Amino acid sequence: MIQQGASIIVKGEELTLLPEKAIYWNRKKTLLLSDLHLAKSGHFRKAGIPIPSSIHENDLERLSLLIEKLKPESLCILGDLFHSRQNSEWKSFEQWRKKHGSVSITLVRGNHDVHEDTVMKDHGLDQVCDSLTEPPFFFSHESTGITAGNLHNMAGHLHPAVVMSGKGRQSGVFPCFWFTKKFSLLPAFGNFTGKAIIQPAQTDRVFIIFGNMVNEIVPSPEK
């Protein structure tokens, strides 16, 4: 099946926006993504809600295919790798990590990443930090909107999405990449996540993910 991404230049850097809900930073050979929320299904099952663990296995398989296709040197996760405290589903990530030992993995800690750095590293992460500066970008889980040194803030957390309407009063909610002059937000990589409808300004750039394609849309005028 043909996958069609999109390209954007931010602070002079070429970024490839992928329909798999990730970004490839070409010059640094780095794959950027956010909000996998692994082990969330196990958290729900403990609460008596029957959610299959296969939903996370599918996310990890999708990530494996991206790594095999792009061959990145590093992977930077902008928070919420794990949804909750340790459960049996963490083992799936450990097994997955062993298959991709050549890729360096950095986790920018999110609000759901509640464990100590040493515990997270025991599961295969090379670096865990609260934020990360890689000029011209400043990576965080939640958008700061303001950074020193004229850096562009790139974050996740919100799970941005837009509502698109078509003929016959049909409409749908689509995950998106949202770029403003000061910050950018990535869609949630994990499929077992919610979506937050954004209200972009007309000067913003928004790219929706529709099936296997990434398409730029023109933000509607503010009402």
Domains and CATH numbers, the chain: 6-217 (3.60.21)
pLDDT of residue 112: 75
Per-residue pLDDT band at 221 (split at 50, 70, 90): low
Spatial CA neighbour of 214 closest among 21, 1, 11, 13: 21
pLDDT of residue 106: 97
Q: What is the pTM of this model?
A: 0.89
Rounded to an integer, what distance in angstroms lies between the CA atom of residue 189 and that of residue 192?
9
Instruction: Identify residue 100 by its one-letter amino acid code.
Output: H
pLDDT tens for each residue of 44-98: 434 444 444 556 688 999 999 999 999 999 999 999 998 566 556 778 888 999 9
Cis status, amide bond into 219, omega within 30 of 0: no
- Please state whether beta strands 205-210 and 171-179 pair in parallel, antiparallel, or not at all (unpaired): antiparallel
pLDDT tens for each residue of 140-198: 999 987 777 889 999 999 999 999 876 656 678 999 999 999 899 999 999 867 899 99
CA-CA distances (angstroms) from residue 24 to 20, 41, 181? 11, 28, 19
Spatial CA neighbour of 89 closest among 53, 47, 46: 53
DSSP lists the bridge partners of residue 75 as 31, 105
Q: Which residue has the higher pLDDT, 90 or 23?
A: 23
pLDDT of residue 97: 93
